[in-house]
Amino acid sequence: MALTAAAQVPSAPAPASAAAATPSIPAGPAKIAVIAFQVVVAQTNEGQRNFADLQKKYAPKEAQLKALNDDIDKATKDLQTQGEKLSDGERAGRAKSIDDKKKQLDRQLEDLRNDGNQEMQEMYSALAQKVYDVLNTYAQQQGYTLVLDISQQQNPVLYAADATVINKQILDAYNAKSGVPAPPAGTAPAAPAPRPSAPKPSGTTPH
For residue range 94-135, list pLDDT tens digits in order: 999 999 999 999 999 999 999 999 999 999 999 999 999 999
Report field, pTM of the whole predicted structure over 0.75? no
List of residues 6+ apart from 201 with CB closer than 8 A: 150, 157, 158, 159, 160
Three-state DSSP state, 10? coil
Angle (nearest 5°) at CA 86 between 82 and 92: 100
23 vs 78, higher pLDDT: 78
Local confidence band at 207 (pLDDT 50, 70, 90 cut-offs): very low
**DSSP 8-state symbol, 159:** -
| CB neighbour class for 113 (10 Å; exposed up to 12, middle 13-18, buried from 19) | middle
Digit-coded pLDDT (tens) for 53-93? 999 999 999 999 999 999 999 999 999 888 788 888 998 99
176 vs 2, higher pLDDT: 176
- Dist. CA 132–CA 143, nearest whole Å: 16
Does residue 192 surpass a pLDDT of 60?
A: no
Does residue 4 surpass a pLDDT of 80?
A: no
Pairing type for strands 32-35 and 146-149 reads parallel
